[in-house]
Amino acid sequence: MNTPIYNAAMEYSCSDPVPFHMPGHKLGAGLPGGFASNIPLLDLTEIPGTDNLHNASGVILKAQQLAAQAFGADETFFLVNGSTCGIHAIISTVCSEGDKLIVSRDCHKSVLNAMILFGVRPVYMGLEFDRLCGISTAVIPERVEEALRLHPDASGVLITRPNYYGVCSDIEAIASIVHSYGRILAVDEAHGAHLAFAPCLPICAMEAGADICVQSAHKTLPALTQGAYLHVKGGRIDRDRLRFNLGLLQTSSPSYVIMSSLDVAREIMHTGAPHLMEGVADNVGRLHGLINELEGMAFITEDMLEYGKKDPTRIVINMRNLGKTGFETGEILRDSYNIQVEMADFYNIVCIATVSDRWEHYERLYCALKDMNYKFKDLPALADTNITEIIIPPKKMEPAEVMCKKTVRVGLHEAAGKVCACAVTPYPPGVPVICPGEVFVGEAVEYIYNILDSGGIVNGLSEKYEVSVVK
């Protein structure tokens, strides 16, 4: 058939890949038998008996109440437009136009987009950085307190936790500080929907004192893409305003297929916890032991990090001593071993492990890495020239202001000193290097070129490496 998307998806899925990437159902392996064949039967609309997401009073309300119980929330809302929609709903509920919002600089581009849409002024906080592993780790409570002290008029604080590498900031301490200033703590817990289901995992945001959080069920649970939860706890959130904003932002034709998968994922995890997640942690621990025997690779664990707790189910392997970048490693795994990782950077590969993975997946990954370790054992270790902390460039104007300005495209090599009119974002992880309204600085330009030269992908650039700047 002349159906490019369908053909490509089927070709990949039928090639017997090892999918260490989202969605967490892993090509349907984690979903109940028959779910896939029932998808056309689940694709319904608001008819008697199926309820209405935007005015839930029947089965959808019941499903959301069951989710709230499972995740330790007072109230849970199903999202069919992904965590992006939840982030937009949170920011438009917590902030009014012109308000400040304190955010960690590793925020996803959806946070930036929401601040542009709703005229919110960002106050960025830096993160701790681990030079040994070459990754950003956590937002420490002291940075949060400093930001609130300097900006007591901010409406709230939004933290990304865990980050793409599975590192978790101390939300309990941060919540205490934020609430002592009478402000709201929101958490982008997109990568942490599984944290509520086993004591061996870092504490989840709802239990740790967050007022509101969003979770991408499709990342770490057996749910379909775009399926997410929005959880609320306590009395600091205006829930009527939140409901209005969700109705404004979500599609008026919500997918019953996605909602059904959210319902099913909650049931699988809730009834199987903590056995299921402890099983994932055990499998990752076994893989860790095997990887430790390979001289060219290092399995990143919590005891290697100075700051933050590490999700033991998130697989992060540092390749620096192998002499291959993470970008190169990911490409070799895909092309030579049919193993697809979730993300790669200069020095690391990141794999998402969920309850849907079989030990066979971990074993194939180990065998491939063992083979690579032998093939490239004589290569020199990578230099540390690309170990770069997250840069916070100077801000010339607010992100929302840029949308009203005339822009022009210039070559990336000419961008230094100019005001960015777009988000320049390596993807994944989707964390902008330069945000609209910020000034291109030389070290940021160099960093972007290094990503491109190493095989990474950067959104916000044309094929000719041109960027949009304020005219």
CATH 3.90.1150.10 placement within the chain: 274-377
Please state the pTM of the whole predicted model: 0.95
What pLDDT, in 10s, does the model give residues 95-145? 999 999 999 999 999 999 999 999 999 999 999 988 888 888 999 999 999
Q: Are 423 and 431 in contact (CB under 8 A)?
A: no
Structure confidence at residue 155 (pLDDT): 98
Task: Give me the amino acid identity at 74.
Answer: D
Mean pLDDT of 284-292: 97
Share the mean pLDDT of the chain: 95
CATH 3.40.640.10 placement within the chain: 31-267
Mean pLDDT of 354-383: 96
Structure confidence at residue 426 (pLDDT): 85
Q: Strand runs (DSSP E) across 142-301, as ranges?
A: 156-160, 167-168, 184-188, 212-216, 228-232, 298-299
Q: Strand runs (DSSP E) across 321-388, as ranges?
A: 339-341, 343-344, 348-352
Question: Residues 390, 396, 398, 401: is their CA dihedral positive or negative?
Answer: negative
For residue 443, what are its two tokens?
A: 């070290």
**Residue 456: which pLDDT band, with cuts at 50, 70 and 90?**
confident
Report the distance separating Cα 212 and Cα 163, nearest Å.
17
Report the distance separating Cα 434 and Cα 411, nearest Å.
15
- Residue 395 forms beta bridges with which residues? 438
Structure confidence at residue 468 (pLDDT): 95
Report the distance separating Cα 85 and Cα 90, nearest Å.
9
Q: Are 294 and 320 in contact (CB under 8 A)?
A: no
The CATH number fitting domain 399-470, selected from 3.90.100.10, 2.70.180.20, 3.75.10.10, 3.30.70.2190: 3.90.100.10
Q: Which residues have a Cβ under 8 Å from the Cβ of 3 and sit 6 or more positions away?
A: none
Burial class of residue 47 in the structure, from the number of CB atoms within 10 Å of its CB (0-12 exposed, 13-18 middle, 19+ buried): exposed
For residue 215, what are its two tokens?
A: 């979770």
**Residue 388: which pLDDT band, with cuts at 50, 70 and 90?**
confident
Mean pLDDT of 276-283: 96
Q: Are 162 and 191 in contact (CB under 8 A)?
A: yes
What pLDDT, in 10s, does the model give residues 233-253? 999 999 999 999 999 999 999
Report the distance separating Cα 331 and Cα 337, nearest Å.
10
Q: Are 140 and 118 in contact (CB under 8 A)?
A: no
Structure confidence at residue 319 (pLDDT): 95
User: Would you say residue 427 has pLDDT above 90?
Assistant: no
CATH 3.90.100.10 placement within the chain: 399-470
Token pair 């095989």 is found at 455
Q: Coil, strand or helix: which one is 470?
A: strand
For helices 239-249 and 82-94, angle between their N-to-C axes, nearest 10 degrees: 140
In percent, the amount of the chain with pLDDT more than 90 equals 87
Statement: 274-377 belongs to CATH 3.90.1150.10: yes
CATH number of 31-267: 3.40.640.10
What pLDDT, in 10s, does the model give residues 35-48? 989 999 999 999 99
